[in-house]
Structure 1
Protein backbone atom coordinates (compact mmCIF):
# COMPACT_ATOMS: atom_id res chain seq x y z
CA UNK A 1 0.00 0.00 0.00
CA UNK A 2 0.97 3.65 -0.13
CA UNK A 3 -0.34 5.63 2.82
CA UNK A 4 2.16 8.50 2.83
CA UNK A 5 4.20 10.18 0.14
CA UNK A 6 6.04 13.43 -0.54
CA UNK A 7 6.29 16.01 -3.29
CA UNK A 8 9.35 18.16 -2.69
CA UNK A 9 10.28 19.08 -6.27
CA UNK A 10 10.19 22.73 -7.28
CA UNK A 11 7.12 23.91 -9.20
CA UNK A 12 9.21 24.52 -12.34
CA UNK A 13 10.42 20.91 -12.29
CA UNK A 14 6.89 19.54 -11.88
CA UNK A 15 5.67 21.74 -14.74
CA UNK A 16 8.51 20.56 -16.98
CA UNK A 17 8.14 16.85 -16.25
CA UNK A 18 4.36 16.83 -16.67
CA UNK A 19 4.06 19.39 -19.44
CA UNK A 20 1.99 21.86 -17.43
CA UNK A 21 1.45 25.57 -17.89
CA UNK A 22 3.34 27.80 -15.52
CA UNK A 23 1.20 28.09 -12.43
CA UNK A 24 1.28 29.27 -8.86
CA UNK A 25 4.17 28.39 -6.61
CA UNK A 26 3.53 25.68 -4.06
CA UNK A 27 5.61 24.65 -1.04
CA UNK A 28 7.40 21.31 -0.70
CA UNK A 29 5.30 18.74 1.13
CA UNK A 30 7.22 16.14 3.09
CA UNK A 31 4.41 14.12 4.68
CA UNK A 32 1.27 13.90 2.55
CA UNK A 33 -1.46 11.79 4.17
CA UNK A 34 -4.92 10.49 3.21
CA UNK A 35 -7.81 13.01 3.31
CA UNK A 36 -5.38 15.83 2.49
CA UNK A 37 -5.46 17.59 -0.90
CA UNK A 38 -3.07 16.14 -3.47
CA UNK A 39 -2.06 17.21 -6.95
CA UNK A 40 -3.18 15.10 -9.87
CA UNK A 41 -2.45 15.66 -13.55
CA UNK A 42 -5.24 15.16 -16.08
CA UNK A 43 -5.76 15.98 -19.77
CA UNK A 44 -6.66 19.59 -20.48
CA UNK A 45 -10.20 20.33 -21.70
CA UNK A 46 -10.70 19.55 -25.41
CA UNK A 47 -10.94 23.24 -26.36
CA UNK A 48 -7.30 23.68 -25.28
CA UNK A 49 -6.01 20.65 -27.11
CA UNK A 50 -5.71 22.40 -30.47
CA UNK A 51 -4.22 25.60 -29.11
CA UNK A 52 -0.71 26.43 -28.00
CA UNK A 53 -1.67 25.74 -24.41
CA UNK A 54 -0.28 22.64 -22.65
CA UNK A 55 -2.44 19.57 -23.17
CA UNK A 56 -2.30 18.60 -19.49
CA UNK A 57 -3.38 20.41 -16.37
CA UNK A 58 -3.01 20.00 -12.61
CA UNK A 59 -5.98 19.69 -10.28
CA UNK A 60 -6.29 19.33 -6.52
CA UNK A 61 -8.29 16.38 -5.19
CA UNK A 62 -9.02 14.89 -1.80
CA UNK A 63 -6.81 11.84 -1.28
CA UNK A 64 -9.35 9.13 -0.58
CA UNK A 65 -11.66 8.15 -3.40
CA UNK A 66 -15.40 8.31 -2.83
CA UNK A 67 -17.43 6.48 -5.52
CA UNK A 68 -20.05 8.60 -7.22
CA UNK A 69 -22.77 6.21 -6.08
CA UNK A 70 -21.99 6.62 -2.35
CA UNK A 71 -24.79 8.38 -0.46
CA UNK A 72 -22.39 9.64 2.21
CA UNK A 73 -18.79 9.13 3.28
CA UNK A 74 -19.86 6.62 5.94
CA UNK A 75 -20.97 4.26 3.16
CA UNK A 76 -17.39 3.51 2.14
CA UNK A 77 -14.01 3.04 3.78
CA UNK A 78 -11.14 5.46 3.21
CA UNK A 79 -10.00 4.25 -0.22
CA UNK A 80 -6.69 6.02 -0.72
CA UNK A 81 -5.20 3.03 -2.60
CA UNK A 82 -6.62 0.89 -5.41
CA UNK A 83 -5.17 -2.52 -6.28
CA UNK A 84 -4.23 -2.37 -9.96
CA UNK A 85 -5.05 -6.06 -10.42
CA UNK A 86 -8.73 -5.52 -9.63
CA UNK A 87 -9.40 -1.80 -10.22
CA UNK A 88 -11.00 -2.43 -13.63
CA UNK A 89 -13.70 -4.67 -12.15
CA UNK A 90 -14.17 -3.49 -8.58
CA UNK A 91 -17.34 -1.36 -8.34
CA UNK A 92 -15.60 1.39 -6.37
CA UNK A 93 -12.91 1.94 -8.99
CA UNK A 94 -13.99 0.54 -12.37
CA UNK A 95 -15.61 3.74 -13.68
CA UNK A 96 -12.58 5.83 -12.75
CA UNK A 97 -10.24 3.21 -14.20
CA UNK A 98 -12.08 3.44 -17.49
CA UNK A 99 -12.72 7.18 -17.70
CA UNK A 100 -10.57 9.11 -15.20
CA UNK A 101 -7.00 7.83 -15.01
CA UNK A 102 -4.56 10.42 -13.66
CA UNK A 103 -0.91 11.01 -12.84
CA UNK A 104 0.19 11.82 -9.29
CA UNK A 105 3.44 13.84 -9.07
CA UNK A 106 5.66 12.53 -6.28
CA UNK A 107 9.22 12.60 -5.02
CA UNK A 108 8.89 9.23 -3.29
CA UNK A 109 6.81 7.42 -0.69
CA UNK A 110 7.02 6.03 2.83
CA UNK A 111 6.52 2.47 3.92
CA UNK A 112 6.79 0.61 7.20
CA UNK A 113 8.47 -2.73 7.74
CA UNK A 114 6.85 -4.82 10.45
CA UNK A 115 9.36 -6.39 12.84
CA UNK A 116 8.63 -9.67 14.56
CA UNK A 117 8.40 -8.06 18.00
CA UNK A 118 5.55 -5.75 17.01
CA UNK A 119 7.65 -2.70 16.27
CA UNK A 120 7.88 -1.04 12.86
CA UNK A 121 10.71 0.61 10.95
CA UNK A 122 9.79 3.46 8.63
CA UNK A 123 11.52 3.88 5.27
CA UNK A 124 11.66 6.74 2.79
CA UNK A 125 11.68 5.22 -0.71
CA UNK A 126 12.86 7.65 -3.34
CA UNK A 127 14.02 7.29 -6.96
CA UNK A 128 17.70 6.39 -6.95
CA UNK A 129 18.30 8.94 -9.71
CA UNK A 130 16.27 11.64 -7.95
CA UNK A 131 13.70 13.89 -9.55
CA UNK A 132 9.93 13.92 -9.70
CA UNK A 133 8.07 10.79 -10.80
CA UNK A 134 4.44 9.91 -11.51
CA UNK A 135 2.27 7.43 -9.65
CA UNK A 136 -0.75 6.03 -11.46
CA UNK A 137 -3.91 7.56 -10.04
CA UNK A 138 -7.70 7.47 -10.34
CA UNK A 139 -10.11 10.36 -9.87
CA UNK A 140 -13.81 10.43 -9.10
CA UNK A 141 -16.23 13.30 -8.46
CA UNK A 142 -18.65 12.92 -5.57
CA UNK A 143 -21.65 15.13 -4.84
CA UNK A 144 -22.38 15.66 -1.18
CA UNK A 145 -26.00 15.92 0.00
CA UNK A 146 -25.73 19.72 0.06
CA UNK A 147 -24.98 19.78 -3.64
CA UNK A 148 -21.27 20.59 -3.55
CA UNK A 149 -19.08 18.47 -5.82
CA UNK A 150 -15.78 17.14 -4.47
CA UNK A 151 -12.99 15.67 -6.59
CA UNK A 152 -11.48 12.66 -4.86
CA UNK A 153 -8.74 10.25 -5.85
CA UNK A 154 -6.70 7.13 -5.14
CA UNK A 155 -3.20 5.89 -5.94
CA UNK A 156 -2.89 2.58 -7.77
CA UNK A 157 -0.63 -0.06 -6.25
CA UNK A 158 1.01 -3.20 -7.57
CA UNK A 159 3.17 -5.95 -6.12
CA UNK A 160 6.51 -4.73 -4.79
CA UNK A 161 9.71 -5.22 -6.73
CA UNK A 162 11.96 -7.93 -5.29
CA UNK A 163 14.46 -5.53 -3.71
CA UNK A 164 11.89 -3.82 -1.45
CA UNK A 165 9.57 -6.76 -0.83
CA UNK A 166 11.08 -7.31 2.60
CA UNK A 167 9.76 -3.87 3.60
CA UNK A 168 6.25 -4.26 2.17
CA UNK A 169 4.55 -6.47 -0.40
CA UNK A 170 2.91 -3.55 -2.27
CA UNK A 171 4.18 -0.38 -3.94
CA UNK A 172 2.70 2.44 -6.04
CA UNK A 173 2.37 2.00 -9.78
CA UNK A 174 4.97 4.21 -11.49
CA UNK A 175 4.07 5.63 -14.91
CA UNK A 176 7.07 6.62 -17.06
CA UNK A 177 7.04 9.97 -18.93
CA UNK A 178 7.03 8.22 -22.30
CA UNK A 179 3.77 6.53 -21.28
CA UNK A 180 1.96 9.60 -19.91
CA UNK A 181 -0.21 10.16 -22.99
CA UNK A 182 -1.03 6.47 -23.34
CA UNK A 183 -2.10 6.26 -19.70
CA UNK A 184 -4.16 9.44 -19.72
CA UNK A 185 -5.93 8.64 -22.99
CA UNK A 186 -9.26 7.41 -21.64
CA UNK A 187 -11.11 8.25 -24.85
CA UNK A 188 -9.74 5.30 -26.82
CA UNK A 189 -7.68 3.31 -24.32
CA UNK A 190 -9.69 0.97 -22.16
CA UNK A 191 -8.16 -0.55 -19.00
CA UNK A 192 -7.03 -3.58 -20.99
CA UNK A 193 -4.95 -1.29 -23.19
CA UNK A 194 -2.89 -0.02 -20.23
CA UNK A 195 -2.42 -3.28 -18.33
CA UNK A 196 1.25 -3.44 -19.30
CA UNK A 197 1.88 -0.18 -17.40
CA UNK A 198 0.70 -1.67 -14.10
CA UNK A 199 3.82 -3.75 -13.45
CA UNK A 200 6.36 -3.03 -10.67
CA UNK A 201 9.31 -0.87 -11.61
CA UNK A 202 12.61 -2.66 -12.06
CA UNK A 203 14.81 -3.57 -9.11
CA UNK A 204 17.07 -0.70 -8.11
CA UNK A 205 14.68 2.06 -9.24
CA UNK A 206 13.98 3.04 -5.64
CA UNK A 207 16.44 3.33 -2.79
CA UNK A 208 15.18 2.67 0.72
CA UNK A 209 16.34 4.99 3.49
CA UNK A 210 15.54 4.18 7.10
CA UNK A 211 13.94 7.17 8.82
CA UNK A 212 12.71 7.93 12.32
CA UNK A 213 9.23 7.53 13.74
CA UNK A 214 8.63 11.26 13.22
CA UNK A 215 6.95 10.41 9.92
CA UNK A 216 4.28 8.46 11.81
CA UNK A 217 2.65 11.71 12.95
CA UNK A 218 0.95 13.66 10.14
CA UNK A 219 1.62 16.86 12.09
CA UNK A 220 5.34 16.44 11.37
CA UNK A 221 5.90 18.07 7.99
CA UNK A 222 9.51 19.29 8.05
CA UNK A 223 12.46 17.90 6.00
CA UNK A 224 13.70 16.32 9.23
CA UNK A 225 11.37 13.36 8.75
CA UNK A 226 13.44 12.25 5.73
CA UNK A 227 16.75 12.29 7.62
CA UNK A 228 18.46 8.90 7.51
CA UNK A 229 18.75 6.98 10.77
CA UNK A 230 20.15 3.61 11.75
CA UNK A 231 17.48 0.98 11.17
CA UNK A 232 16.10 -0.65 14.29
CA UNK A 233 18.04 -3.83 15.03
CA UNK A 234 16.05 -7.06 15.38
CA UNK A 235 15.71 -8.17 18.98
CA UNK A 236 17.00 -11.55 20.07
CA UNK A 237 13.76 -13.43 19.34
CA UNK A 238 13.67 -11.95 15.84
CA UNK A 239 17.34 -12.74 15.20
CA UNK A 240 16.68 -16.34 16.23
CA UNK A 241 13.69 -16.56 13.90
CA UNK A 242 15.75 -15.17 11.02
CA UNK A 243 18.55 -17.66 11.73
CA UNK A 244 16.07 -20.54 11.77
CA UNK A 245 14.60 -19.36 8.47
CA UNK A 246 18.08 -19.27 6.93
CA UNK A 247 18.85 -22.80 8.10
CA UNK A 248 15.66 -24.05 6.50
CA UNK A 249 17.04 -23.04 3.14
CA UNK A 250 19.66 -25.82 3.32
Structure 2
Protein backbone atom coordinates (compact mmCIF):
# COMPACT_ATOMS: atom_id res chain seq x y z
CA UNK A 1 0.00 0.00 0.00
CA UNK A 2 1.19 3.51 -0.77
CA UNK A 3 -0.61 6.30 1.05
CA UNK A 4 1.84 9.21 1.15
CA UNK A 5 4.37 10.72 -1.25
CA UNK A 6 6.24 13.92 -2.06
CA UNK A 7 6.80 16.18 -5.04
CA UNK A 8 9.46 18.59 -3.80
CA UNK A 9 10.33 20.30 -7.06
CA UNK A 10 9.47 23.33 -9.17
CA UNK A 11 6.93 23.93 -11.91
CA UNK A 12 9.77 24.42 -14.39
CA UNK A 13 11.43 21.11 -13.51
CA UNK A 14 8.11 19.28 -13.75
CA UNK A 15 7.40 20.70 -17.19
CA UNK A 16 10.91 19.87 -18.37
CA UNK A 17 11.00 16.32 -17.01
CA UNK A 18 7.54 15.29 -18.22
CA UNK A 19 7.41 17.42 -21.39
CA UNK A 20 4.00 18.74 -20.40
CA UNK A 21 2.58 22.18 -19.70
CA UNK A 22 1.23 23.17 -16.30
CA UNK A 23 -1.24 26.06 -16.44
CA UNK A 24 -1.85 26.18 -12.68
CA UNK A 25 0.49 27.49 -10.03
CA UNK A 26 2.56 24.85 -8.29
CA UNK A 27 4.33 24.79 -4.94
CA UNK A 28 6.67 22.01 -3.73
CA UNK A 29 4.83 19.35 -1.73
CA UNK A 30 6.51 17.35 1.02
CA UNK A 31 3.66 15.28 2.48
CA UNK A 32 1.01 14.46 -0.10
CA UNK A 33 -2.01 12.52 1.15
CA UNK A 34 -5.28 11.04 -0.19
CA UNK A 35 -8.22 13.41 -0.92
CA UNK A 36 -5.83 16.18 -2.00
CA UNK A 37 -5.95 17.82 -5.45
CA UNK A 38 -2.73 16.85 -7.23
CA UNK A 39 -0.99 17.11 -10.63
CA UNK A 40 -1.11 14.07 -12.90
CA UNK A 41 -0.79 13.40 -16.63
CA UNK A 42 -3.53 11.43 -18.38
CA UNK A 43 -3.56 9.34 -21.54
CA UNK A 44 -6.21 11.72 -22.89
CA UNK A 45 -4.01 14.82 -22.43
CA UNK A 46 -0.37 13.68 -22.31
CA UNK A 47 1.01 17.13 -23.18
CA UNK A 48 -0.45 18.88 -20.16
CA UNK A 49 -0.90 18.44 -16.41
CA UNK A 50 -4.37 17.82 -15.01
CA UNK A 51 -5.33 18.19 -11.36
CA UNK A 52 -7.35 15.31 -9.89
CA UNK A 53 -8.18 14.18 -6.35
CA UNK A 54 -6.26 11.22 -4.98
CA UNK A 55 -8.76 8.50 -4.12
CA UNK A 56 -11.83 10.56 -3.36
CA UNK A 57 -12.79 14.20 -2.98
CA UNK A 58 -12.56 15.83 0.48
CA UNK A 59 -16.37 16.09 0.57
CA UNK A 60 -16.79 12.37 -0.04
CA UNK A 61 -14.35 11.43 2.71
CA UNK A 62 -15.71 13.82 5.33
CA UNK A 63 -16.25 12.09 8.68
CA UNK A 64 -15.21 8.69 7.30
CA UNK A 65 -11.87 7.01 6.61
CA UNK A 66 -10.59 6.77 3.06
CA UNK A 67 -10.62 3.14 1.95
CA UNK A 68 -7.48 1.56 0.53
CA UNK A 69 -9.51 0.46 -2.49
CA UNK A 70 -9.92 4.10 -3.52
CA UNK A 71 -6.27 5.17 -3.30
CA UNK A 72 -4.53 1.99 -4.57
CA UNK A 73 -5.31 -0.68 -7.19
CA UNK A 74 -3.45 -3.94 -7.70
CA UNK A 75 -1.46 -4.04 -10.94
CA UNK A 76 -1.91 -7.81 -11.23
CA UNK A 77 -5.70 -7.57 -11.47
CA UNK A 78 -6.35 -4.00 -12.66
CA UNK A 79 -7.29 -5.28 -16.16
CA UNK A 80 -9.66 -7.91 -14.78
CA UNK A 81 -11.71 -6.37 -11.96
CA UNK A 82 -15.01 -4.77 -12.83
CA UNK A 83 -14.11 -1.75 -10.70
CA UNK A 84 -10.94 -0.97 -12.67
CA UNK A 85 -11.13 -2.74 -16.05
CA UNK A 86 -12.65 0.20 -17.92
CA UNK A 87 -10.15 2.66 -16.44
CA UNK A 88 -7.26 0.36 -17.36
CA UNK A 89 -8.46 0.31 -20.94
CA UNK A 90 -9.36 4.00 -21.36
CA UNK A 91 -8.28 6.15 -18.43
CA UNK A 92 -4.63 5.63 -17.53
CA UNK A 93 -2.38 8.24 -15.95
CA UNK A 94 1.04 8.85 -14.46
CA UNK A 95 1.56 10.56 -11.10
CA UNK A 96 4.77 12.61 -10.75
CA UNK A 97 6.78 12.21 -7.53
CA UNK A 98 10.30 12.48 -6.17
CA UNK A 99 9.86 10.14 -3.22
CA UNK A 100 7.31 8.39 -1.04
CA UNK A 101 6.82 7.24 2.54
CA UNK A 102 6.28 3.77 3.96
CA UNK A 103 6.14 2.49 7.52
CA UNK A 104 8.11 -0.32 9.14
CA UNK A 105 6.34 -2.10 11.97
CA UNK A 106 8.67 -2.67 14.94
CA UNK A 107 6.15 -3.52 17.63
CA UNK A 108 2.46 -4.02 18.26
CA UNK A 109 1.78 -0.29 18.12
CA UNK A 110 5.01 1.17 16.79
CA UNK A 111 5.70 2.03 13.16
CA UNK A 112 8.79 3.86 11.92
CA UNK A 113 8.33 6.09 8.84
CA UNK A 114 10.81 5.78 5.98
CA UNK A 115 11.27 7.87 2.86
CA UNK A 116 12.10 6.03 -0.36
CA UNK A 117 13.80 7.70 -3.33
CA UNK A 118 16.08 6.90 -6.22
CA UNK A 119 19.77 7.16 -5.30
CA UNK A 120 20.14 10.14 -7.63
CA UNK A 121 16.99 11.85 -6.22
CA UNK A 122 15.45 12.11 -9.70
CA UNK A 123 11.84 12.76 -10.50
CA UNK A 124 9.80 9.72 -11.48
CA UNK A 125 6.19 8.68 -11.82
CA UNK A 126 3.74 6.14 -10.44
CA UNK A 127 1.37 4.27 -12.76
CA UNK A 128 -2.26 5.10 -12.14
CA UNK A 129 -5.83 5.04 -13.39
CA UNK A 130 -8.46 7.75 -13.11
CA UNK A 131 -12.23 8.12 -12.92
CA UNK A 132 -14.83 10.79 -13.67
CA UNK A 133 -18.09 11.03 -11.76
CA UNK A 134 -20.85 13.50 -11.01
CA UNK A 135 -21.55 14.53 -7.42
CA UNK A 136 -25.01 14.90 -5.91
CA UNK A 137 -24.80 18.63 -6.60
CA UNK A 138 -24.16 17.98 -10.28
CA UNK A 139 -20.45 18.88 -10.19
CA UNK A 140 -18.11 16.72 -12.28
CA UNK A 141 -15.15 15.41 -10.26
CA UNK A 142 -12.02 13.49 -11.25
CA UNK A 143 -10.10 11.11 -9.03
CA UNK A 144 -7.11 8.82 -9.46
CA UNK A 145 -5.78 5.62 -7.90
CA UNK A 146 -2.15 4.57 -7.73
CA UNK A 147 -1.17 1.06 -8.85
CA UNK A 148 0.76 -1.29 -6.56
CA UNK A 149 2.62 -4.53 -7.11
CA UNK A 150 4.31 -7.20 -4.97
CA UNK A 151 7.04 -5.82 -2.71
CA UNK A 152 10.65 -6.30 -3.82
CA UNK A 153 13.63 -6.85 -1.50
CA UNK A 154 13.81 -3.15 -0.55
CA UNK A 155 10.12 -2.88 0.31
CA UNK A 156 9.50 -6.15 2.14
CA UNK A 157 10.21 -4.56 5.53
CA UNK A 158 7.19 -2.33 4.97
CA UNK A 159 4.62 -4.90 3.88
CA UNK A 160 3.76 -7.01 0.88
CA UNK A 161 2.97 -4.19 -1.59
CA UNK A 162 4.87 -1.35 -3.23
CA UNK A 163 3.89 1.35 -5.76
CA UNK A 164 4.41 0.72 -9.47
CA UNK A 165 7.16 3.09 -10.61
CA UNK A 166 7.65 3.79 -14.30
CA UNK A 167 10.80 4.59 -16.25
CA UNK A 168 10.57 7.25 -18.98
CA UNK A 169 10.07 4.79 -21.82
CA UNK A 170 7.45 2.95 -19.77
CA UNK A 171 5.56 6.20 -19.18
CA UNK A 172 5.11 6.63 -22.93
CA UNK A 173 3.76 3.09 -23.25
CA UNK A 174 1.38 3.51 -20.29
CA UNK A 175 -0.04 6.75 -21.73
CA UNK A 176 -0.35 5.43 -25.28
CA UNK A 177 -4.05 4.92 -26.02
CA UNK A 178 -3.28 2.35 -28.71
CA UNK A 179 -1.21 -0.12 -26.68
CA UNK A 180 -2.68 -3.55 -25.99
CA UNK A 181 -3.19 -5.30 -22.67
CA UNK A 182 -0.01 -7.37 -22.81
CA UNK A 183 2.14 -4.33 -23.61
CA UNK A 184 0.59 -2.35 -20.78
CA UNK A 185 0.93 -5.09 -18.18
CA UNK A 186 4.58 -5.58 -19.14
CA UNK A 187 5.55 -2.17 -17.72
CA UNK A 188 3.93 -2.72 -14.31
CA UNK A 189 6.77 -4.58 -12.61
CA UNK A 190 8.64 -1.72 -10.92
CA UNK A 191 12.32 -0.64 -11.07
CA UNK A 192 15.44 -2.49 -10.00
CA UNK A 193 15.47 -2.53 -6.18
CA UNK A 194 19.14 -1.59 -6.21
CA UNK A 195 18.37 1.77 -7.81
CA UNK A 196 16.45 3.03 -4.76
CA UNK A 197 17.21 3.76 -1.12
CA UNK A 198 15.16 4.02 2.10
CA UNK A 199 15.93 6.09 5.20
CA UNK A 200 14.11 7.04 8.39
CA UNK A 201 12.34 10.39 8.66
CA UNK A 202 10.48 12.40 11.29
CA UNK A 203 7.33 11.01 12.90
CA UNK A 204 5.73 14.33 11.96
CA UNK A 205 5.06 12.86 8.52
CA UNK A 206 2.18 11.01 10.22
CA UNK A 207 0.34 14.34 10.48
CA UNK A 208 -1.32 15.15 7.17
CA UNK A 209 -1.47 18.86 7.96
CA UNK A 210 2.34 19.04 8.24
CA UNK A 211 3.76 19.76 4.79
CA UNK A 212 7.28 21.05 5.36
CA UNK A 213 10.72 20.51 3.84
CA UNK A 214 12.22 19.05 7.02
CA UNK A 215 10.15 15.90 6.44
CA UNK A 216 12.53 14.96 3.63
CA UNK A 217 15.57 14.89 5.88
CA UNK A 218 17.03 11.74 7.35
CA UNK A 219 16.46 11.45 11.10
CA UNK A 220 17.17 8.85 13.75
CA UNK A 221 14.40 6.24 14.01
CA UNK A 222 12.03 7.11 16.85
CA UNK A 223 8.97 5.40 18.20
CA UNK A 224 5.58 7.00 18.70
CA UNK A 225 6.64 8.37 22.09
CA UNK A 226 9.73 10.11 20.73
CA UNK A 227 12.17 7.50 22.03
CA UNK A 228 15.07 6.36 19.89
CA UNK A 229 14.95 2.72 18.89
CA UNK A 230 17.50 0.19 17.75
CA UNK A 231 15.73 -0.36 14.46
CA UNK A 232 17.11 1.43 11.40
TM-score (norm 2): 0.87
Q: How far 1:234 moved relative to its partner? A: 4.8
CA contact (8 A) 2:43 2:91 kept: no
How far apart, CA to CA, are the structure 1 residues paired with 2:6 and 2:42? 19
Cα shift at 1:193? 2.2
Shift of 1:200: 2.5
* 1:56-135 superposed matches below 5 A: 56-64=47-55, 77=67, 79-135=70-126
Which runs of structure 2 are paired with 1:144-163 in the superposition (5 Å)?
Answer: 144-163=135-154
- Give the number of equivalent residue pairs: 219
Written as runs of structure 1 = structure 2, the 5 A alignment for 1:26-37 is 26-37=26-37
Distance 2:21 2:71 in 1: 27
Post-superposition Cα deviations, 1:108-147, rounded to whole Å, max 9, x if no partner, equal 1100011134200000111111121011011110111222
The structure having more radius of gyration, on CA atoms, is: 1
Q: Could you say which residue in structure 2 is the equivalent of 1:191?
A: 181
- The aligned residue for residue 220 of structure 1 is 210
- Where 1:56 maps in the other structure, the secondary structure is coil
Deviation at 1:65, TM superposition (A): 5.4
Paired with 2:100 and 2:147, the residues of 1 have a C-alpha distance of 13
**Residue 51 (structure 1) aligns with:** none
* Cα 1:22–1:121 shift into 2, 3 Å: closer
Q: Is 1:3–2:12 an aligned residue pair?
A: no
Structure 2: which 5+ runs fail to align? 223-228
Moved over 3 A (4+): 22-25
Query: For 1:65 and 1:137, how far apart are their aligned partners in 2?
Result: 14
Distance in 1 separating the partners of 2:6 and 2:217: 14
